Amino acid sequence: MSRFVPMAALLTACASAAPAPTRAGDPPPTPKADESPPAGAPSASATGTPPELPAAPPVTDPGWDFHAWAYARELKVELVSDGCEAAKLGDKPDETVWCAHHVEGKEGAVLYSRALYVARAKRLVKLVEIPIAAGMVDDPAKPKDEKDRQVIRFEIKRADDGKSVRVEPAKGFECELAMKGNAEPGALGAKLATYIPRVCAARGTWKWAAGTLRHDR
């Protein structure tokens, strides 16, 4: 997963300024990169299209747009993430999103998680963060795909009614195999030995209750 830089933006549309008049028969002027579009062109507020924001979360679901979702809710967003997607959970499913995160330790171990956020009162509020994978940072001398560097990986499966999720090991990533197969030496192996149980502890059913997901175990 690629990391993007922090985003801090209040989603607003700006008014357009009219260009200087032209003589009859002259071609229309070409706006410069820092100019507003000509007067009479539909604005962001008129069309409902959100303005482009710097450093938005990368697309994880081609059918869902974080820009449009946040703009429609007038959210003030300050978020560092590997990507976000619609969660469709709870009493107001359209107000929830999953965002992916990871932390890297100096010993070379990586812990991956999925955090559930909800839009409330024009703010993006984190409800819960679930560890879902652990592995190693990429070695430039021996590059591998991210999944090939993971020693444990779980999947989150949403119930059809949106009132719960199941957190289960991906095929070939059972907890017992991960613990026995952790043969990494020194500090890296020791750190992975702490990350694997944290991921495995998230296994089971998480139910929506009192405005958040709660581990039902």
Asked whether the predicted pLDDT for residue 146 surpasses 90, the reply is no
Q: Are 104 and 137 in contact (CB under 8 A)?
A: yes
Asked whether the predicted pLDDT for residue 180 surpasses 80, the reply is yes
CA 156, CA 122: separation in Å to the nearest integer? 27
Q: Phi, psi (5° rounding) for residue 3?
A: -95, 140
CA 124, CA 116: separation in Å to the nearest integer? 10
Asked whether the predicted pLDDT for residue 59 surpasses 80, the reply is no
Average pLDDT, the chain: 79
Write down how long the chain is: 217
Give the mean model confidence (pLDDT) for residues 85-91: 96
Confidence band, pLDDT 50/70/90 cuts, at residue 182: confident
Asked whether the predicted pLDDT for residue 43 surpasses 80, the reply is no
Token pair 């009479």 in the structure block, residue: 40
Give the mean model confidence (pLDDT) for residues 30-48: 46
Percent of the chain residues topping a pLDDT of 90:
56
Q: Which whole-number Å values give the CA distances from 121 to 80, 142, 178, in the listed order?
A: 20, 47, 42
Give the mean model confidence (pLDDT) for residues 94-121: 96
Quote the pLDDT of residue 60.
Answer: 57
Q: Are 117 and 97 in contact (CB under 8 A)?
A: yes
Mention every residue, 6+ apart, whose C-beta is less than 8 A from residue 16: 36, 37, 38, 39, 41, 43
Quote the pLDDT of residue 202.
Answer: 97
